[in-house]
Amino acid sequence: MSEPIPYGKQNITQDDIEAVMEVLQSDYLTQGPKILEFEQAFATYIGCKYAVAVSNGTAALHLCAMSLGVEKGDKVITTPITFAASANCVRYCGGDVVFADINPETYLLDVNKVKELLESSPKGTYRGLIPVDFAGRAIDLEAYRKLADEFDLWIIEDACHAPGGYFIDSKGKHQNCGNGNYADLAIFSFHPVKHIACGEGGMITTNDENLYHKLLQLRTHGITKNEGLYVNSASFAAGEDSDSYPGWYMEMQNLGYNYRLTDFQAVLGSSQLKRADDGITRRREIAEVYDRAFKNNSFVKGQSGVINGHAYHLYVIEVENRLGLYNYLRANNIFAQIHYIPCHLMPYYKEFGWKVDDMPNAEEYYKHCISLPMYPTLTNEEQKYVINKILNFLNNEN
Ligand SMILES: *Cc1c(COP(=O)(O)O)cnc(C)c1O
Residues 47, 52, 55, CA angle at the centre, nearest 5°? 130
* Nearest CA owner, ligand 1 atom 10: 85
Is residue 200 pLDDT above 70, yes or no?
yes
Give the residue ranges of DSSP H helices in the chain.
14-24, 33-46, 57-67, 85-92, 111-119, 141-151, 209-219, 234-238, 263-273, 276-294, 322-331, 347-350, 360-368, 380-397
- Which of 189, 203, 259 to probe ligand 1 with, by most ligand atoms within 8 A of CB? 189
pLDDT in tens, 264-310: 999 999 999 999 999 999 999 999 999 999 988 888 888 766 788 99
Please state the atom number of ligand 1 nearest to the C-alpha of residue 189.
7
pLDDT at 398: 61
pLDDT at 303: 77
Please state the atom number of ligand 1 nearest to the C-alpha of residue 193.
1
Q: How far is CA 53 from CA 160, 232, 250, in A?
A: 13, 28, 21
Domains of the chain plus CATH, in order, are: 5-224+254-273 (3.40.640.10), 276-397 (3.90.1150.10)
- Ligand 1 centroid to Cα of residue 226, in Å, is 31
- Of 251, 58, 280, give the one whose Cα is nearest residue 164: 280
- Which of 83, 92, 102, 195 to probe ligand 1 with, by most ligand atoms within 8 A of CB? 83
Q: How many residues does the chain have?
A: 398
Give the residue ranges of DSSP H helices in 120-242.
141-151, 209-219, 234-238
Indicate the average pLDDT of the chain. Answer: 96
Split at pLDDT 50, 70, 90, the class of 397 is confident
| Calpha distance 384→373 (Å, rounded) | 11
Q: Are 223 and 250 in contact (CB under 8 A)?
A: yes
pTM for the model stands at: 0.97
Active site residue 194: yes
54-78 mean pLDDT: 98
SS3 99: strand
Which DSSP symbol is given to 206? E
237-246 mean pLDDT: 98
* Nearest CA owner, ligand 1 atom 6: 57
- Ligand 1 centroid to Cα of residue 386, in Å, is 26
pLDDT in tens, 68-80: 999 999 999 999 9
235-251 mean pLDDT: 97
Order of strands across the sheet that contains 369-372: 300-302, 315-319, 369-372
- Which of 7, 92, 160 to probe ligand 1 with, by most ligand atoms within 8 A of CB? 160
pLDDT in tens, 219-237: 999 999 999 999 999 999 9
Which DSSP symbol is given to 7? S
Q: Are 271 and 31 in contact (CB under 8 A)?
A: no
- Ligand 1 centroid to Cα of residue 187, in Å, is 9
- Ligand 1 centroid to Cα of residue 85, in Å, is 6
Report the b/e string of 180-203 with b at 16+ CB within 10 A. bebbbbbbbbbbbbbbbbbbbbbb
- Ligand 1 centroid to Cα of residue 44, in Å, is 22
* Nearest CA owner, ligand 1 atom 7: 57
Please state the atom number of ligand 1 nearest to the C-alpha of residue 86.
11
Amino acid at 15: D
Residue percentage of the chain with pLDDT more than 70: 99
Please state the atom number of ligand 1 nearest to the C-alpha of residue 82.
13
pLDDT at 324: 97
- Ligand 1 centroid to Cα of residue 56, in Å, is 8
Amino acid at 344: H
Ligand 1 binding pocket (C-beta < 6 A) is 56-58, 82-83, 85-86, 132, 158, 160-161, 189, 191, 202
pLDDT in tens, 115-138: 999 999 999 999 999 999 999 999
Q: How far is CA 163 from CA 44, 137, 179, 186, 381, in A?
A: 12, 10, 10, 11, 27
Q: Which of 34, 75, 113, 194 is catalytic?
A: 194
* Nearest CA owner, ligand 1 atom 4: 57
